[in-house]
Amino acid sequence: MYIRGCTMREITYVEALNEALREEMRRDERVIVMGEDVQLGYSGRGGLFLVTADLMREFGPERVRDTPISEEGFVGAAIGAAITGLKPVVEIMYADFLLCCMNQIVNVAAKLRYSTGGQLKVPIVIRTMIGQGRGVGSDHSQVPIAWFMNVPGLKVVAPSTPYDAKGLLKSAIRDESPIIFFESFLLYRTKGFVPTEEYIVPLGEADVKRKGTDLTIVAISTMVPCALSAAKKLKEEFNIDAEVIDPRTLVPLDKKTIINSVMKTNRLIIVESGVKTCGVGAEIASIVAEETFDYLDAPIKRVAAPHIPAPASPALEQLTIPSENDIIRAVREILQG
C-alpha cells in the first residue's frame, strides 16, 4: 500500500491501532479510553495486547480508565458518556465478551438515536478482538460479526491490515454512530506500511487487495492475508487470477465494489473465519446473487467455519478455521464446476 507523496513506515497492526488512539486523543480531548487492564496490563504500559500502550502515561487515569469486570455496566456508562459530550472508545477484551453487554449495545446504543427522534447521538467505538487461532476455546474464539450487522443503528468495522486498522479506527472515533470495531489476535503481530503523515480511511469503502479477472474472493478480517496467499498460489500453481476484496466495513457495506468485481469475474467466493450459518458470507452471497444474477457463471461459495464450537485442542481447532487450502479447493470447484 503506497500512497503518492507519503513517507511510509512499517508497523504492526497493534502499533497502528495504538497510534490511532493516541492521535485521536491528542486531537480531541473528548476522546477517552475505557476497559479492563487498559492502564497497565502485563507490561505496565497498558493493555494485555498493548493496543493501549503508554496512553495512561500521556493522558492520565481520568481519560484512560481501568474498569471492573462489568462489561454491561461500563459499556452502558460509555453510552451515557457518549450522549452527554464524551467520545468513549471501549475495549472489550475478547469478542465473546460482547455477549455480556449485548443488551446495552443492541437495546440501548443502537436505538437511542432513532427512538429519541434524532435528539441523541451515540459516538462510541467498541473495540474488540477475535481470539481464534491459539486454542483459547469455545467462549474465547467466536466471530460474532453478523449479529451486529443485523442491528440497525450500529456500524461494523473489521480491518485486516495495519494501514486499514489505523485509518479506520480514526474514522470510527470521529463518527457519530455506535461502532463495533473487530480486531483479531491473528492479525495483531502482522506488519504493514502506513504513511508517516496523518490519514484516515473512510467507513464504507471496500479495498481491492489484489486485482484479478477469473473470480472474486471477498475475505473478512483474519481471512484476508489467508485469501491473498491463496490467490498467490492459485496464480502460481493453477494460473487462476483471483481478485481479492476486503470490505473493511461491513456496515455500511460497499456493495458496489463487490458487485462490480463479480460482474467482471462472474464468480464469487466469500471467506470468513466465523461460523457459516447466518454469517457475514450469507449476507454478501444473498446481495450478490440478487443483484448480479445474470452475471454469475457458478454458484457462490462460502468458505467459513463449520457448525462446531471452537475446540481447545489445537489438533481440532485448526479444523474449524478456514485455511489457504480450503480456499484453493473452493476456487477450483467453482472454476471446474
Partner 1 sequence: MYKLLREAEGEGLERLHSDLLIWMYTKMLEIRRFEEKIEEEYRKGLIPGLVHLSIGQEAVAVGVCANLRDDDYVIGTHRGHGIAIAKGVPLDKLAAEILGKETGCCKGRGGSMRVAYVDKGLLYSCPIVGTGLPLAVGAGLSIKLRKTNQVAVCFFGDGASNTGDFHEALNLASIWRLPVIFICENNMYAISVHVKKSTSVENISDRARGYNIPGFTVDGNDVIAVYKIVREAVQRARNGEGPTLIECKTYRIVGHGTTDPGIAYRTIEEIEEWKRKCPIDRLRRYLIANGILSEEDLNRIGSEVEARVREAIKFAEESPYPSPDQVAEYVY
Catalytic residue set = 140
69 binds ligand TPP (CB under 6 A): yes
The nearer residue to partner 1, 213 or 325, going by C-beta atoms, is 325
The nearer residue to partner 1, 16 or 32, going by C-beta atoms, is 32
Using the contact rule CB under 8 A, the part of the chain among 12-20, 166-174, 217-225, 269-277 near a second copy is 269-277
The nearer residue to partner 1, 88 or 279, going by C-beta atoms, is 88
Instruction: Using alpha carbons, select from 59, 34, 142 the residue that is nearest to residue 97.
Output: 142
Report yes or no: 48 and 78 within 8 Å, Cβ to Cβ.
no
What's the chain's length in residues?
A: 337
How many residues belong to the site for ligand TPP (CB under 6 A)? 6
Q: Which three cell numbers stand for residue 210?
A: 489484489
Q: Which of 63, 127, 210, 248 binds partner 1 (CB under 8 A)?
A: 63
Cα separation, 216 vs 208, in Å, equals 10
Q: At what angle do helices 223-238 and 324-336 cross, to 10 degrees?
A: 50
Element housing 9 (H / E): strand 8-12
> Closest approach of Cβ 279 to a second copy, in Å?
6
Residues 6+ apart with CB under 8 A from 51: 14, 17, 18, 21, 91, 127, 183
Q: Which of 46, 47, 133, 281 binds a second copy (CB under 8 A)?
A: 281
Peptide bond connecting 252 to the previous residue in cis, omega within 30 degrees of 0: yes
299 binds a second copy (CB under 8 A): yes
The nearer residue to a second copy, 237 or 290, going by C-beta atoms, is 290
86 binds a second copy (CB under 8 A): no
Q: Which of 62, 236, 237, 290 binds a second copy (CB under 8 A)?
A: 290
Report yes or no: 148 and 251 within 8 Å, Cβ to Cβ.
yes
The nearer residue to partner 1, 3 or 316, going by C-beta atoms, is 316
Residues within window 8-67 making contact with ligand TPP, judged by CB under 6 A: 36
Cα separation, 137 vs 122, in Å, equals 33
Element housing 125 (H / E): strand 125-130
Pick what 63 binds: partner 1, ligand TPP, a second copy, none; C-beta below 5 to 8 Å, kind-dependent.
Answer: partner 1
227 binds a second copy (CB under 8 A): no
Residues within window 172-231 making contact with partner 1, judged by CB under 8 A: 176-177
Cα separation, 252 vs 152, in Å, equals 10
Q: Which of 28, 58, 139, 197 binds partner 1 (CB under 8 A)?
A: 139
Residues within window 307-336 making contact with a second copy, judged by CB under 8 A: 307-309, 311-312
291 binds a second copy (CB under 8 A): yes
Q: Which of 100, 102, 287, 296 binds partner 1 (CB under 8 A)?
A: 100
Measured CA to CA in angstroms, residue 125 lies from 69, 134, 309 at distances of 18, 26, 28
By the 10 Å C-beta count (0-12 exposed, 13-18 middle, 19+ buried), 201 is classed as: buried
Pick what 266 binds: partner 1, ligand TPP, a second copy, none; C-beta below 5 to 8 Å, kind-dependent.
Answer: none
Q: Which of 302, 321, 324, 331 binds a second copy (CB under 8 A)?
A: 302
Residues that bind ligand TPP (CB under 6 A): 36, 69, 71, 93, 97, 100
